[in-house]
Amino acid sequence: MEDYKEFKDSELRHQDAVCVNESEKKESFFSNLKYLIVGILFGIVFVKAEIISWFRIQEMFRLQSFHMYGIIGSAVTVGAISVFLIKRFNIKTLGGEEIKIEPKSFNKGQIYGGLMFGIGWAMTGACPGPLYAQLGYGATVVIVVLLSAILGTWVYGKFRDKLPH
């Protein structure tokens, strides 16, 4: 029974998500601090490379600069080589667990939702990650954009069953 509950919960967590905790270990508050540190480094790179600059996003979509394409392209290259190496050499986590990456299945949401997100991305100059960094960088009004994004997510959840997938 307990197993079934856990299975259902995992299924629900995987719904419409790429990014999921695949670990079966329980982590303490202190153990979670390592994600905070990765986040901090990430936030600094976001700011210092101007990835979260509204101006740079306009430039990207207006095809006036290679900067953002270079960043995404080289990030994917490094990411793909890493994932390949992890799979090829069966690299384990520091805790000794098998590394799992759930494959994605296709649904129409990736088209409709993708287009909607793209439109919002060029308007706000931010995808979800950069919103947190822009806020931290001192653009206080971005809290409104973030709250609105949370509301958008909530409304999606509310009407999920009625949307084409």
Partner 1 sequence: MNQPIAWYIAGPLIGLSIPVLLIIGNKTFGVSSSLRHICASCFPGDISFFNYNWKKEIWNLFFVAGIFLGGIIASLFLSNSQEVIIHPELKNFLAQNGITNLSGLVPADIFNWTTLFTLKGFLMMVVGGFLVGFGTRYAGGCTSGHAIMGLSNLQWPSLVATICFMIGGFISAWLIVPFILSL
Q: List phi, psi (to 5°) of 159.
A: -105, 15
Residues 92 to 131 in contact with partner 1, rule: CB under 8 A: 93-95, 97, 99-107, 109-129, 131
Closest approach of partner 1 to the CB of residue 164, in Å: 10
Other CB atoms within 10 A of residue 76 CB: 10
Q: Interhelix angle for 142-159 vs 128-136, to 10°?
A: 150
Closest approach of partner 1 to the CB of residue 138, in Å: 5
Nearer CB in complex with partner 1: 3/163:
163
The burial of 62, by beta-carbon neighbours within 10 Å (0-12 exposed, 13-18 middle, 19 or more buried), is given as exposed
Nearer CB in complex with partner 1: 1/94:
94
- The size of the interface with partner 1 (CB under 8 A), counted in residues, is 130
Does 7 contact partner 1 by CB under 8 A? no
Residues 28 to 67 in contact with partner 1, rule: CB under 8 A: 31-62, 64-67
Cβ neighbors of 121 (< 8 A, separation 6 or more) are: 57, 127
